Chain A
Amino acid sequence: MISNFPFIAVIIFISLGIYTLLFKKNLIKIAIGLCLIENGANLFLIALGYKKEAVAPIYTLAPAGQAMVLPTPQALTLTSIVIGLATTALVLSVAMMVYKHYGTLDTDEVRRLRG
């Protein structure tokens, strides 16, 4: 069981993120929880493509005679990190505008729609 440690770290990330989304009231803490879930998913993608005793998949001055790690999950994780960054920036901008209109960041107070 201890050899699966990256997968256990992934479930710790994701469950902490879901706990923060369910039980916290401040909007900034909810944004942090969203960011935690995204980072857990990226870590899971990279941990799937590892071979034992292998080096990075680059041919420039590589050490001779060794196998290479699978390169496709790394290419997909690049895309995912950039999209996560854009989503987090947009959530924080909306939180700024909510603070300007309502004066508070508590989600129990901002339920009523004001016209």
Chain B
Amino acid sequence: MNPMSKIVRTITKFTYGIIIIFGLYIIVHGHLTPGGGFQGGAVTASAFALLLISYGNLTTDKFLKKDLFSFLESCGLTLFITLAFLGLGLTFFYNFLANSGGWFGNISAVGINPGDLNTGGVVPLMNIAVGLEVLSGLGLIVLVMAAAMEFTKKKENL
């Protein structure tokens, strides 16, 4: 895949960091504003797709490794299942950190209020786990299908 022109490469160098930070902001503030794990992960994966299109296939393989993405995806799903099993005292998927005073355990005010980041119990941790899984999973799809593009071409008659 050929890289695009000089103007596109320069603008990509400025904006891919902003897109990644915006996606992580949507993931972490999932319990206060619209958003959450799935939406923020999709936004962050579009930054990787932007890098892949503007720099070409062979250059992007040097600084986005597929093994690291695969490891992060497995970490995300394992963390999600571990958080589900930790509340097994009462039921599966029990929110054992809500309104308890520990980590993420402030009591939330009832009614319309500007939000407090420290509330929510186990919901922000699950947002981070699912966001990590979706981010690396979608980046992995895009990278693998672009690397297989050369492999599935029809052989021309020589």
State if A and B touch, Cβ cutoff 8 Å.
yes
B114 contacts across to A, CB distance below 8 A: 60-61
Report the nearest A residue to B142, measured CB to CB: A89
Indicate whether B129 reaches chain A with its CB closer than 8 angstroms: no
Contact present for A82 and B38 (CB under 8 Å) = yes
Of the candidates A64, A81, A97, A99, which one forms a contact with B154 in the assembled complex, judged by CB atoms under 8 Å apart? A99
Contact present for B141 and A89 (CB under 8 Å) = yes
A85 contacts across to B, CB distance below 8 A: 138
Contact present for B152 and A96 (CB under 8 Å) = yes
Interface residues of B, dominant DSSP? loop
Report the nearest A residue to B36, measured CB to CB: A78
Which of under 10, 10 to 19, 20 to 34, or 35 or more describes the interface residues of A? 10 to 19
Residues 94-115 of A contacting B (Cβ, < 8 Å): 96-97, 99-100, 103
Of the candidates A56, A62, A64, A100, which one forms a contact with B151 in the assembled complex, judged by CB atoms under 8 Å apart? A100
Contact present for A58 and B34 (CB under 8 Å) = yes
B33 contacts across to A, CB distance below 8 A: 58, 60
CB distance from B146 to the nearest CB of A (A): 11
Of the candidates A81, A89, A100, which one forms a contact with B152 in the assembled complex, judged by CB atoms under 8 Å apart? A100
CB distance from B106 to the nearest CB of A (A): 15
Contact present for B152 and A59 (CB under 8 Å) = no
Of the candidates B112, B152, B153, which one forms a contact with A62 in the assembled complex, judged by CB atoms under 8 Å apart? B112
Q: 1/0 contact trace for B129-150 toward A, CB 8 Å?
A: 0000010001001000100100
Indicate whether A93 reaches chain B with its CB closer than 8 angstroms: yes
| Given A59-B111, A62-B112, also A97-B32 (CB < 8 A) | no
Measured CA separation A59–B114 after assembly (Å): 8
| Given A97-B152, A100-B152, also A59-B38 (CB < 8 A) | no
Report the nearest A residue to B154, measured CB to CB: A103
Q: State the B residues within 8 Å of A (CB).
A: 32-34, 36, 38-39, 111-115, 134, 138, 141, 145, 148, 151-154
In the A-B complex, the 4 residue pairs with the smallest Cβ-Cβ separation, listed nearest first, are A100-B152, A60-B115, A96-B152, A62-B112
List, sorted by A's number, 25 A–B pairs whose CB atoms are closer than 8 Å: A59-B111, A59-B112, A59-B113, A59-B115, A60-B32, A60-B112, A60-B113, A60-B114, A61-B112, A61-B114, A62-B112, A64-B112, A78-B38, A78-B39, A81-B38, A82-B38, A89-B141, A89-B145, A93-B145, A93-B148, A96-B148, A96-B152, A97-B152, A100-B153, A103-B154
